[in-house]
Structure 1
Amino acid sequence: MNEAFERAMAAFEPAHLPLAVGFSGGADSTALLAACASAWPGRVVAFHVHHGLQAAADDFERHCAAVCERLGVPLVVHRVDARHAQGDSPEDAARRARYEAFAAMARTDTTAGAIKSIVLGHHADDQVETLLLALSRGAGLPGLAAMPAHAQRNGLDVHRPLLAVPGADIRAWLKGLDLPWIEDPTNEDERYTRNRIRAVLLPALARTFPQFRATFARSIGHAAQAQELLGELAAQDLAVVGNPPRIAALQALSRARQANVLRHWLMQAHGCAPSAAQLDQLLDQVRACTTRGHRIHLKVANGFAQRRGDLLHWYNSGPSPKASR
């Protein structure tokens, strides 16, 4: 048995029972399902998302059903259309579809009862890949904080108890159970950036910095803590500038705090995030807004930021007749 995996599972306490396990049939989710089924017998449900993106998807579902039957765990399957729009990332499209499916499955009746928590098999290698992707995109602290061990999404408590456990350790533990798993052929497709990171960068990092998983995890933790502090500051500043923000109150803040509170406002009030270029333009316009006639009308995320009187608004529908000019 693998001590790293067992320590991580022993320390894991779900927010609610019964517990759903995101189950793809791969090694990581198979190990997680087996461990959870052993820890909380009769209180675990497997959630399988049928993405419909490859011919083997039906075989994956049949495999998951067979494993769940062996473990005595009920299986809930949800079919989604995870095809991506032109210009969209196929990985991001599949991820969004998957989380929406988890939320939909949680709303269905299960033999174990109402589901409020789900556990996912992301591990230390996945966390490093997420960090490297964020760095490649020039991400800020939210991106550098990578995946949280616990978060809430679509009304579910989402747990990732294996973020400190290397993928090889999970497979080593699983081999002792004689449980089969699926090797997804798309994981070898180097057209996907994450797969190239896994195939090329992680082995190079292991040769150069053998402890990179642990040291990267510390950096991720520092970024997450700093982002938490920025979130607290943004909430305090938003209480002062108002919702929607008063332009004069925004101007009383430093540019960095303006950026922080505007990102927070857009995400909390409107569920959108500006690009770095859009936010810079918006900050420039807020600074230049010194007369009653100064107009602000800028594309921000999938909508527009607009001045209306003394306030800054955001909308994603047609032009507003109340715009100040």
Structure 2
Amino acid sequence: MTQSLAAAMQAFTPRLPLAVALSGGADSTALLLASARRWPGQVHALHVHHGLQAAADDFERHCAALCARLQVPLTVRRVDARHAPGQSPEDAARQARYKAFEAMALDSQAQSAIQTIALAQHADDQVETLLLALSRGAGVAGLAAMPAQWQRGGLHWCRPLLGVAGADVRAWLRAQGEPWVEDPTNSDERYTRNRIRHRLLPALQQAFPQFRDTFARSCAHAAQADELLQELAVADLAATGRPPRIAALRLLSRARQANVLRHWLRSDHGTTPSAAQLDALLRQIAACTTRGHRIHLKVGRGHVVREGEALHWYNQQVLDFISARDGGAPKQSSQ
């Protein structure tokens, strides 16, 4: 069930010292204020200057003033968050932000042995993430939305406000008499997340007042299913080999082939196939009954090719080298 901010913070038991990711908005301001009160002298603030809008300097000044008043050390890092061709601006900024948080926390001069990084996403953010995943046709990993805690880079990451409604966070902050800054892009409905926030969430509130709780349960069920699929994929990859052998793959059901191939591509090569690419690969595996059957398919940011009895994945640079070495490009398999 959704919680009050006070209850959420009471249940939050981080490994100290704690770093709070501070944007200067209402949510991160509330998290920093509540954390600084509960663990005085044990809290740091981390601010990322994206440089993507004119207001970024104002965000940094607000964070500096807030941290000075709370006597909380502040570390600021400027990043280049411009998106690459084909990448969404939101995803580029998110990736740059998380890398910067990790780097700041691990910086020996800034960290004072920081153990935990706390992020201020709340229950409405979780709903938005789930609806975004649904709009994109995501599988169970996407429908699991945002985890409440995880390990990365030797740090413990937490979202202690994930069960608190956004309106309750702001109400708590107003009761403290604490100001915050508003990101002007939050009202820009060119971004899908903002359209969900401003159009869908009010409609859900009217039609299904308990939607935050029920959606959170669905996310939890999806997260559990994804964990089971990952365990199965690890076992199947151990059986099929790294790289996976085609004959061993063909002993699995089509669903298990898809599951283990997604895991192999993500864990070993850091790439994710589209649904169409994965379907094409599965059809080629089903058709691969002779030694002469070639496989050369675009998958993720590279290509899956058959070499002997196994599948291999190469990015384009490596494929060009192999092509030059062998005197020509591999033949495309028919689809």
**Do both share a fold (TM > 0.5)?**
yes
Are positions 1:158 and 2:148 aligned together? no
Contact 2:3 2:165 in 1 (8 A): no
Are positions 1:5 and 2:19 aligned together? no
Amino acid at match of 2:212: R
CA separation in 2, counterparts of 1:116 and 1:314?
36
Quote the offset at 1:278 in angstroms. Answer: 0.7
Rate the CA distance shift 1:204–1:152 in 2: closer, same or farther, 3 A: same
Amino acid at match of 1:252: L
Question: Once the two structures are superposed, what CA deviation does each residue of 1:271-305 show, in whole Å capped at 9, x if it has no partner?
Answer: 11111111111111111111111111111111111
Question: Once the two structures are superposed, what CA deviation does each residue of 1:108-159 show, in whole Å capped at 9, x if it has no partner?
Answer: 2345512342110000000000011000001111110000001234443221
For 1:152-231, list aligned pairs within 5 A. Answer: 152-231=151-230
Amino acid at match of 1:97: A
Rate the CA distance shift 1:277–1:3 in 2: closer, same or farther, 3 A: closer
Amino acid at match of 1:157: H
Contact 1:43 1:112 in 2 (8 A): no
Contact 2:8 2:161 in 1 (8 A): yes
Structure 1 equivalent of residue 88 of structure 2: 89
For 1:63-142, list aligned pairs within 5 A. Answer: 63-110=62-109, 113-142=112-141
Q: TM-score of the superposition, structure 1-length normalised?
A: 0.95
* Counterpart secondary structure, 1:272: coil
Q: TM-score of the superposition, structure 2-length normalised?
A: 0.92
Are positions 1:44 and 2:58 aligned together? no
CA separation in 1, counterparts of 2:54 and 2:62?
14
CA separation in 1, counterparts of 2:38 and 2:302?
47
Structure 2 equivalent of residue 54 of structure 1: 53
CA separation in 1, counterparts of 2:330 and 2:287?
15
Rate the CA distance shift 1:111–1:260 in 2: closer, same or farther, 3 A: closer
Question: Once the two structures are superposed, what CA deviation does each residue of 1:31-80 show, in whole Å capped at 9, x if it has no partner?
Answer: 11111112222121100000001111111101000000111110000001
Give unpaired runs (5+ residues) of structure 2.
Answer: none
For 1:261-272, list aligned pairs within 5 A. Answer: 261-272=260-271
Structure 1 equivalent of residue 23 of structure 2: 24
For 1:266-281, list aligned pairs within 5 A. Answer: 266-281=265-280
CA separation in 2, counterparts of 1:78 and 1:116?
19
Deviates more, 1:254-263 or 1:290-299: 290-299
CA separation in 2, counterparts of 1:289 and 1:216?
42
**Misfit runs of 4+, over 4 Å:** 321-325
Are positions 1:282 and 2:281 aligned together? yes
CA separation in 1, counterparts of 2:35 and 2:10?
10
* Counterpart secondary structure, 2:181: coil
Quote the offset at 1:171 in angstroms. Answer: 1.1
CA separation in 1, counterparts of 2:318 and 2:330?
15
CA separation in 2, counterparts of 1:29 and 1:22?
7
Contact 1:103 1:155 in 2 (8 A): no
Give unpaired runs (5+ residues) of structure 1.
Answer: none
Rate the CA distance shift 1:112–1:101 in 2: closer, same or farther, 3 A: closer
Quote the offset at 1:8 in angstroms. Answer: 1.1
Are positions 1:298 and 2:306 aligned together? no
Q: CA RMSD in A?
A: 1.7
What percentage of residue pairs aligned between the two structures are identical? Answer: 69
Quote the offset at 1:318 in angstroms. Answer: 2.6
* Counterpart secondary structure, 1:147: coil
Rate the CA distance shift 1:250–1:121 in 2: closer, same or farther, 3 A: same
